[in-house]
Amino acid sequence: MRHALGVLGVLAAGVLLAVSAAMNWRFGLSLGQTEQDGQIYGAASAAADCLKALIPFFFFAALKNRMWSQAVASAIVWVVVTGFSLTSALGHAALNRLNTSGQRTVEAQVYKDLRADLKRAQDQLSWIPQHRPAQTVAAEIEGLKNHRLYAVTKGCTEIPGKSTRELCQTLSERNAELASAQQAVALESRITAIHEKLGGATRATVMSEADPQAAVLAKLGTIFGLSLKTEDVQTALTVFIALLLEIGSGLGMYVAFSTWLINERVVPAAPSMASLQSSQQTVAAQPVPAAVQVAAQSPAAIAAPVVRPKSSANDNRTLPQVQAQPRLVAPENDVQKFYKEKVETQDGSSVTATALYEDYCAWCEELKKEPLALPTFSREFGELGVQKGKIAGRVRYIGIALKSGLDETEDKKPPVFEEKAA
């Protein structure tokens, strides 16, 4: 389960890092005046974004090894690259959000205009009086014009009698009916065209709000007594998206890798506690661990002597011998193992700190181990109780010699201590 969670975490952080690097690359690409300059700025921006995800590993490693200057430098670099990535992410997110909301605003306005135009056309169609089809009315008008009385009236400009008046009145009614029929046909065609345009509208166009998410959050703010504008909510959402990408891509890898406990060390099992012997046999003394002998020969780490209870004169029984249990000690670290295997105590000898560290690095290389940094090694080696002094301008450890023979010529010489005024 731990490995599965770690893999999923690394994948998620990798996606965020890839998205953030792509946004930085596009932002850097827009800074160049030429295509080549844009590629250079884009590559530098993407590399800075990837460095942002690696710096937390360097920073906490420097803190662990007490390398303060490297930790400060890592923090400064992380602030700079994160600030640059944040500005590019803000610009990219704001541009995309404004473009999307602006396009939705235009589409929504066009949709509203079409709906209003459709309403006007339908109202106009409802105002037209009842009429027959235009072709039927046109045919009837043509028949009235072919009547002999129509010629007498000279196109209904002169009406000499009652018959011609009725003919001209009927012709006028048919012309009005024909106009209504023709206007109805035009309005129906217009309504059909508007319906086709409305049918091709997308779901986002039908929405009344250009940015529904910002509108909903603004309405929720009014419920809790906050007076929020849609524009303010859009700005907050843009900043939130940028922070999501930058924090997720910058610290996601470090958090995901913590699942595997990269620096985890296997702790040896604690020694078993010996039970008291009720028989006459003497409990064999357990040997003192080598790590205790190396670490300054502390008397507290040595097992207590055997305690024998007093017996009375009338008691001829032999009481069991009770031995106090040895104290549990911490397991040996690499510096203590190196001391035990490669260093020997020798009066009148000394070893330079440089030669000692080089021999330690060679020992680590033989065992395929990662050597400690020189400041960390010197601190842990000094905790073993070895005397250290400055001889002839060089730091030397006094009273020890290297089994490998490194620096043997100088170590065999008796140390000459610098005399200082009291």
Residues 374-393: pLDDT tens digits?
889 888 888 888 888 888 88
Higher pLDDT, 122 or 162: 122
Q: What is the phi/psi pair of residue 320, to 5°?
A: -70, 150
Higher pLDDT, 27 or 295: 27
- DSSP-derived secondary structure letter, 267: P
Report the alpha-carbon angle 384-386-392, nearest 5: 145
Residues 291-342: pLDDT tens digits?
434 444 444 343 444 445 444 444 455 545 545 555 555 567 888 999 989 8
Number of residues written out for the chain: 422
Tokens of 23: 């946004």
Q: Give the integer Cα–Cα distance in Å for 259 and 50.
A: 21
Q: Is the pLDDT of residue 11 over 80?
A: yes
pLDDT of residue 292: 39
The answer to whether 42 touches 29, Cβ cutoff 8 Å, is yes
The answer to whether 280 touches 308, Cβ cutoff 8 Å, is no
pLDDT of residue 360: 92
Q: What is the phi/psi pair of residue 279, to 5°?
A: -90, -175
Report the alpha-carbon angle 356-361-367, nearest 5: 125
pLDDT of residue 422: 36
DSSP string over 370-417: -PPPHHHHHHHHHTTT-EEEEETTEEEEEEEEETT-TTHHHHTSPP-P
Q: Is the pLDDT of residue 267 over 50?
A: no
Higher pLDDT, 213 or 370: 370
pLDDT of residue 192: 92
Local confidence band at 207 (pLDDT 50, 70, 90 cut-offs): low
The answer to whether 335 touches 376, Cβ cutoff 8 Å, is no
Tokens of 137: 């009315």
Q: Give the integer Cα–Cα distance in Å for 370 and 367.
A: 9
pLDDT of residue 160: 79
Q: What is the phi/psi pair of residue 337, to 5°?
A: -65, -40
Q: Is the pLDDT of residue 411 over 90?
A: no
Q: Give the integer Cα–Cα distance in Å for 16 and 252.
A: 8
Q: Is the pLDDT of residue 185 over 60?
A: yes
Local confidence band at 120 (pLDDT 50, 70, 90 cut-offs): very high
**H or E element, residue 78:** helix 68-127
- DSSP-derived secondary structure letter, 281: S
Higher pLDDT, 55 or 32: 55
Q: Which of 244, 242, 249 is nearest to 90 (CA)?
A: 242
Q: Work out whether strand 306-307 and strand 322-323 pair parallel, antiparallel, or are unpaired.
A: antiparallel
Q: Is the pLDDT of residue 139 over 80?
A: yes
**H or E element, residue 344:** strand 343-352
Higher pLDDT, 281 or 17: 17
Average pLDDT of span 90-111: 72
pLDDT of residue 87: 81
Q: What CATH number belongs to 334-411?
A: 1.10.10.10
pLDDT of residue 357: 92
- DSSP-derived secondary structure letter, 65: T
| Domain-wise residue ranges, the chain | 2-106+212-260, 115-206, 334-411
Q: Give the integer Cα–Cα distance in Å for 303 and 329.
A: 11
Q: Which of 93-102, 244-253, 255-264 has the highest mean pLDDT?
A: 244-253
How large is the C-alpha radius of gyration of the chain? 48
Distance of CA 34 to the CA centre of its chain: 32
Distance of CA 132 to the CA centre of its chain: 72
Q: Is the pLDDT of residue 62 over 60?
A: yes
In the chain, the percentage of residues whose pLDDT exceeds 70 is: 73
Q: What is the phi/psi pair of residue 187, to 5°?
A: -65, -40
Q: Give the integer Cα–Cα distance in Å for 312 and 308.
A: 13
**H or E element, residue 178:** helix 162-199
Tokens of 395: 């730091």
Written as one letter, the residue type at 357 is: Y
Averaged pLDDT score across all residues of the chain:
75
Q: What is the phi/psi pair of residue 206, to 5°?
A: -70, -25
Tokens of 41: 């700025």
